[in-house]
Amino acid sequence: MYYVNCIKYVHTVHINAVHNVLLEQLAATEAVLWSPQTDSAAVQALSELLIAAKGTSNA
């Protein structure tokens, strides 16, 4: 039983460490909002890239 409890404890510590790292990364990020309605040049560039990629995959 002691062994099982040790395994559970190590697993919990690992999960908490991963959780804390993810929270730190989230806190350090910056949100970016992009709207295709306000950026027609970007929409055109993306459209051209998608057309080129589709042409490459069909070749």
User: Cα–Cα distance between 42 and 50 in angstroms, integer?
Assistant: 12
pTM score, whole prediction: 0.41
**What local confidence, expressed as pLDDT, does residue 59 receive?**
58
Sign of the alpha-carbon dihedral angle for 35, 57, 54, 46: positive
What would the pLDDT profile of 1-23 be if each residue is shown by its tens digit?
Answer: 777 778 888 888 889 999 999 99
